[in-house]
């Protein structure tokens, strides 16, 4: 039996990247899914691929009414709601601290923080009627440490992590668990789109992104949407029924910091000042001296 057999999920940002990976995996594991997005052509492809198991609902998460309608679609079409995966998002404005605008700030916070919170708002009554459920939100390693994303994006993801911790104890008595996932470098079109590259062109660069990211973390392969989808599956399923209020880091070890020679490169000037030959130290690090 699938790990989500009999469960119904709503996934936002479902038509591509992490969202599409989650739709495919959730359906494979027995769930019925409302795939919420604004990419109608890709939404149609989801329905074709998962006939009867997944339904596409046009949902702009910047619009509260669309969020409410997507949640309602779960109970209307499939009779219940067990999981909400708040996943919609983009990189947003890349302005530095002294260049941020009110419009950029409002847009990023609205898309990431407000949309996730209002998703909870409408999901909770439906889950409460079933005796419980699971709310999962895509955060980021950028919300944990500096240097992994633009300022506004990083602030928004940090807010999601704290929102997870604040809401989890409030909803625990209803049997509703609240967690988030902090992806590292995942090969999706979000990187290219953040640089202004059109979506269709960005999707042709995903393999290149994965290859380029391979050397950036201890586990030397590029992260893929399936890696985050597996984490979402765990948090959505009964196997995590004692887990709430957590920010699950899925990053191939990225946030552990530089490894090997990258790590020691930062200390090279100090090592040289102490009179130690960096080449000798490198050999020691590699176990050859």
**What residues are annotated to the active site?**
153
Compute CA distances 257 → 54, 216, 249, whole Å: 39, 9, 14
Phi, then psi, of 141 in degrees rounded to 5 = -60, -20
Closest CA to 49 of 27, 68, 69: 27
Instruction: Find all residues with CB under 8 Å of 16, minimum gap 6, and list them.
Output: 37, 39, 42, 188, 189, 199, 203
Phi, then psi, of 241 in degrees rounded to 5 = -70, 0
- Judged on CB neighbours under 10 Å (0-12, 13-18, 19+), 72 is middle
Taking the C-alpha atoms of residue 150 and residue 190, their distance in angstroms, rounded to an integer, is: 12
Long-range contacts of 170-173 (CB under 8 A, 24+ apart): 171/120, 171/124, 171/135, 172/244
How many alpha carbons lie under 13 Å from residue 35 in its C-beta half-sphere? 34
Q: Measured on CA atoms in the order 118, 185, 228, 168, is the torsion positive or negative? A: negative
Considering just the CA atoms, what is the radius of gyration of the chain in Å?
A: 21
Closest CA to 57 of 11, 4, 125, 122: 11
């Amino acid at each position: 039996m699938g790990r989500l057999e009999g469960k119904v999920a709503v996934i936002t940002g479902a038509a591509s990247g992490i969202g599409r990976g989650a739709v495919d995996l959730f359906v494979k594991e027995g769930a019925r899914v409302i795939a919420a997005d604004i990419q109608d052509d890709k939404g149609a492809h989801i329905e074709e691929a998962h006939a009867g198991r997944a339904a596409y609902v046009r949902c702009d998460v910047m619009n509260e009414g669309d969020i409410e309608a997507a949640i309602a679609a779960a109970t209307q079409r499939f009779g219940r709601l067990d999981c909400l995966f708040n996943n919609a998002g983009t990189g947003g404005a890349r302005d530095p601290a002294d260049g941020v605008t009110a419009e950029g700030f409002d847009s990023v916070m609205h898309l990431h923080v407000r949309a996730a919170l209002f998703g909870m708002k409408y999901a909770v009554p439906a889950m409460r009627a079933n005796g419980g459920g699971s709310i999962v939100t895509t955060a980021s390693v950028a919300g944990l440490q500096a240097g992994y994303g633009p300022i506004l994006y990083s602030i928004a993801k940090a807010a999601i992590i704290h929102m997870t911790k604040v809401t989890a104890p409030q909803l625990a008595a209803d049997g509703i668990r609240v967690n988030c996932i902090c992806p590292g470098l995942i090969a999706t079109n979000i990187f290219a789109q953040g640089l202004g590259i059109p979506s269709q062109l960005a999707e042709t660069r995903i393999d290149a992104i994965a290859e380029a990211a391979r050397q950036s973390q201890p586990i030397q392969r590029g992260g893929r949407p399936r890696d985050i989808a597996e984490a979402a599956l765990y948090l959505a399923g009964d196997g995590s029924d004692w887990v709430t209020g957590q920010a699950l880091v899925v990053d191939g070890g990225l946030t552990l910091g530089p490894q090997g020679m990258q790590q020691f490169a930062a200390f090279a000037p100090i090592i040289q000042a102490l009179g130690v030959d960096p080449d000798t130290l490198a050999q020691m690090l590699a176990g050859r001296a």
